[in-house]
Amino acid sequence: MSNEATAAGTAAAAGTDHQGTIASYIDHTLLRPEAGEAEVLKVCAEAAEYRFKSVCVNPIWVKTVKTALRGSGVLTCSVIGFPLGATPSDVKAFEARGAVLDGADEIDMVINIAAARANDKGTLVDDIRAVAESVHTGGAILKVIIETALLDDAQKVLACEAAVEAGADFVKTSTGFNGGGATAEDVALMRRTVGPGLGVKASGGVRSSADAQAMIAAGATRIGASSGIAIVKGEQGLSAY
């Protein structure tokens, strides 16, 4: 069992209501395309203050985030093929390689959603593996966004199986940009499919401590949210992501 999976079980059993515990699950996220440098730096300062796991941004901000977070212990995360996933695999791999070279510790890629809906596992594996090889060569880890709102349960299972086969480190529910978001039911399904060896990231619509605790109890080992501060304070966040 992975360290993160073990931590999830421990935190769920303990209630995960302690700020320092639940904060360590959160990828503090800013993915709005119009967000500027001042907003990015503000998110970095918040992440350092609350000791979130990472700051997740679009690739143009990776260097800025890496510099701002130096010495904080907070990781730098970026998204690839975002938010549609409808980019050729070699382009995704190139984009991922660049983000890792810029300093990304973690990469969240969007799968070929059309392939998942067509039950084309081979194409999914090839798409994910191309990015995984680029990411792992640079010493980073790969999270695979399957966009649960656009898939039925069988397709969700297929996508998770493809991620395992392709060598991904995590599966992730949603971009937060294509309708729907994380549900405890989807997280539980994903956890059953990938087993204890991979991380499961719940993202999209996680806005409160209760939301986060429900996801962790279902098997999530990471939470993607722009409402991270509200979550650790026990308040209700307003963001759609």
Residues annotated as catalytic are: 108, 172, 201
121 vs 224: CA distance, rounded Å: 26
Listed in order, strand segments (DSSP E) in 114-204 are 141-145, 170-172, 199-203
Q: Which of 42, 13, 11 is nearest to 25 (CA)?
A: 11
The set of residues, in sequence order, having a beta carbon less than 8 Å from that of 147 and lying 6+ positions away, is 85, 110, 111, 113, 116, 173, 174, 175, 178
The b/e string for 69-94 (b: 16+ C-beta within 10 A; e otherwise) is beeeebbbbbbbbbbebebebeebbb
For 146, the 3-state DSSP assignment is coil
Handedness of CA 5, 100, 186, 210 (dihedral sign): positive
Amino acid at 71: G
